[in-house]
Amino acid sequence: MPIDPKTLVETWPHATGVMKTFALMTTTISSSLTQPAIPNHRFSNELYARNMAALWRHDIELAQQIDDVSEDQWLEAQEARSGAMTACVTPAGGKATWLHSRHNPEAEGERLAAGVELEDKFCVVVFGFGLGYHVRELHTRLRGDGFIVAIEPSLSTLATAMGCVDLSEVIRSGKLIILTQLDKSILHERLKPFMTLMMLGAKFVAHQASHQINPAFYAQAREAVTDFIAYARMTLLTLVGNSEVTCRNIAYNLPTYASTPPIDVLRDRFKGYPGVVVSGGPSLRKNIELLSEVKGNGVLCAVQSLLKPLTRRGIKPDFVTSLDFHSISQQFFHGIEDFGDVHLIAEPKVNWQVLDLYKGPVSLLHSEFAERIIGPELGSRNGLPAGATVAHLAFYLLNYMGCDPIVFVGQDLAFSGNCFYVPGVETHHTWRSEINRFNSMETREWERIVRNRNILRKTRDVEGRDIYTDELLFTYLEQFERDFATCNATIINATEGGARMRGTQVMTLRDVIDEYCTRPLPENAFAYRDHATWNDASRLDDHKEQIATRIDEITNIRDVCDEMLGLLAELQELADEPVKFNRRLVRVDELRAIVNRAGRSYDIVTAATQRAELQRFTADRKLDASDATGIERARRQLDRDVRFVEAFREGVVRMIDILQETLRRFDQRAEAYRS
């Protein structure tokens, strides 16, 4: 039954654009193509309808934006000598520029694409869409899971392209991402699902005519994409490199996870009151003493490295955050005799020695890995977004508690005054034995900075001047700016130094105190501390039972891996004998089914063997992009599988050891509670 256009308009929120496309489709069907519905342009309604129908299925927002472009905003277009369309752009007061050849634009697009080396490249970033000839040709040259990111700021150009060139197959493939703006939150949202593929190889391609029209935009676009790739590389390397130690920490922290209350009681507890994130950047020295005036009139949330320096000054933060997986983070808590009522909020991946040392109130956030081990009934609890640093975690916590405004102090994210740390941090105490007249503290600070000279870069400070940061700190800055874009609270940068953070108001801490810290926090705001059970031993046995079950399941997976490796060795010998090869494959499928039935335990091991997963992912992508067929392809698949199963089995053995040690830690915790 035909769809009634009136019903479509009333029921689909994007009906305006849909109806424009629908109108062109019906016009194309019912009218002579010698009488185009779009006057004064040499466009094809049929092409426009076909392209836009594909775009509506893959990028609704962009399709709506293009459909909203009125016909008089489309570019001047004409037939080239070859019969294909080209178009002209004439900026206000500028020189006319043709986007493509006036002789044969299709051949021009083929030449551009042919000059791009795509071997081992899975992402092509095209700066300038034009009418899409080069994009279409690059699409034909993609291999495997390769995809194209096309950056084009002109909706008029994109609308014209939809009516001039058949791009429907490219759009329908799902391998084309079109970006029209450089907003970081949008760029990260669109590209984040493809981070791993971009890390395997990205190629930049410039459409020269587009660059001539808008050189400043494309310079910014290249910088924005480069920054994203740097962020992706840092994120991926951190994930892969730290996967096993992260899983070990979470497992060892399960006794604390089981026996301490979650953060649920903190939701909106300080709604409408100011919250201050206290970080350890060098600018903190300017106003660290002022934090005593915030105490009681605002929520003080300090990063772990500042607990000791603040305590020495008689300033007890209300909360402290910790998430670092490395054992070095325990130094921030060593030697503290009285933690008082400072509430530690930590991610379960925090180094297990930190939680063993901390004797004050503790709450751990939700962990998917913990939930896999102990099950959703025991493991489910409120969490916060994953933060790259303890400062991110502090920001998420204050936002969760309803604080407004959220104020940053000591959040330099750059090397203010050529310094790395605020004076008095634990690192300075470690360096003291090395300080003399030939090796000052300032020298050690500068050495700490130049140690990363290969990743140093310049950014702008709060005054608009150049300042040095590095790739890692810049990645943290980008994450903050994305977070600020989605936060409803007012964000204030009261660091009085460091890198500029977009999305914040710049104020001095003195002004923040005078304007926002003018009333005391509610009397009962911290009453939950007296009512919560901070060491609940009653839940330990149920958790132990779940862990023991996981050990049994993972032990069975180890046995499957042993048999699978033997089978793969046989199959490598039988690659030239299809009948015997296929007969042995039956057992491979049976073993795969056994592992699938233990999906939860398989996922536990996978979380700790991300390097093996990345190696398999890379091998799969390269195999799909290769020309290998027949026996050669089968041999390469077998080699890939052998390497993966060997690496996976090593992870299985290590996970069994980790979970057995976790059980011993449960027994130790139960004994400590009894005593």
What number is the average pLDDT over the span 600-627? Answer: 80
The answer to whether residues 131 and 86 touch, using CB atoms and an 8 Å cutoff, is yes
Residue 436 DSSP one-character state: B
What is the structure's pLDDT at 448? Answer: 59
Kindly report which listed range (488-492, 612-616, 654-658) carries the lowest average pLDDT score: 612-616
For residue 189, the model assigns a pLDDT of 87
Residue with tokens 């077998």: 638
pLDDT reported for residue 26: 47
Rounded to a whole number of angstroms, the CA Rg of the chain reads: 30
Q: Tens digits of per-residue pLDDT, 419-429?
A: 555 555 555 55
Q: Which of 466, 516, 464 is nearest to 494 (CA)?
A: 516
* Predicted pLDDT of residue 32: 35
User: Tokens 């503790």 belong to which residue?
Assistant: 362
Mean pLDDT, the chain, whole residue set: 85
Q: How confident is residue 432, by pLDDT bands cut at 50, 70 and 90?
A: low
pLDDT band at 7 (very low <50, low <70, confident <90, very high): very low
What pLDDT, on a 0 to 100 scale, did the predictor assign at position 57? 93
Predicted local confidence at residue 290, as pLDDT: 95
Cα dist from 90 to 98, 170, 475, 525, whole Å: 9, 28, 38, 63
Give strand pairing partners of 109: none
**Tens of pLDDT, residues 461-518:** 777 777 777 777 787 888 899 899 999 999 999 999 888 889 999 999 999 999 999 9
* CB within 8 Å of 72: residues ≥ 6 apart: none
DSSP conformation letters of 126-142: EE--TTSHHHHHHHHH-
C-alpha–C-alpha distance, residues 516 and 450, integer Å: 39
pLDDT at 12 over 70: no
Query: Do 128 and 152 touch, CB atoms closer than 8 A?
Result: yes
pLDDT of residue 267: 96
A 10 A CB-CB count for 611 gives: 15
Query: What is the spatial distance between Cα 327 and Cα 353, in angstroms, rounded to a whole number?
Result: 7
Between strands 362-364 and 466-470, the pairing is unpaired
Identify the helix (H) or strand (E) that includes residue 64. Answer: helix 60-67
DSSP 104: -
* Closest CA relative to residue 370, chosen from 670, 669, 658, 674: 658
Number of alpha carbons in the 13 Å side-chain half-sphere of residue 671: 6
Q: How confident is the model at residue 633 (pLDDT cuts 50, 70, 90)?
A: confident
pLDDT digits over 217-272, tens only? 999 999 999 988 888 887 777 777 788 899 999 999 999 999 999 999 999 999 99
Assigned token pair, 600: 């939860």
Total length of the chain = 675
- What distance in Å separates the CA atoms of residue 258 and residue 541, rounded to the nearest whole number? 10
pLDDT at res. 145: 85
What global pTM score does this model have? 0.69
Among 27-36, 138-147, 316-325, 405-414, where is mean pLDDT lowest?
27-36
Q: In 285-430, where do the E strands start and end?
A: 299-303, 319-322, 343-346, 362-364, 406-409
CA atoms within 13 A on the CB side of 644: 19
pLDDT for residue 449 is more than 60: no
Specify the pLDDT at position 644: 87
Q: Give the C-alpha separation, 225 to 39, whole Å.
A: 38
SS3 content of the chain, % helix, strand, coil (to 5): 55, 10, 30
Q: Can you give the pLDDT at residue 83?
A: 92
- Stretch 100-118: mean pLDDT, rounded? 93
Phi/psi of residue 673, nearest 5 degrees:
-70, -35
Q: What is the pLDDT of residue 407?
A: 97
Reply yes or no on whether the pLDDT at 6 is more than 60: no
Q: Kindly state the tokens that stand for 609.
A: 């063997």
Residue 564 CB coordination number (10 Å): 23
First-last CA distance in the chain: 76
Q: What are phi and psi of 609, to 5 degrees?
A: -125, 50
Cis peptide, bond prior to residue 405, ω within 30 of zero: yes
Beta bridge partners of 79: 85
- Tell me the mean pLDDT in the region 529-535: 89
pLDDT in tens, 49-99: 999 999 999 999 999 999 999 888 899 889 999 999 999 998 776 788 999
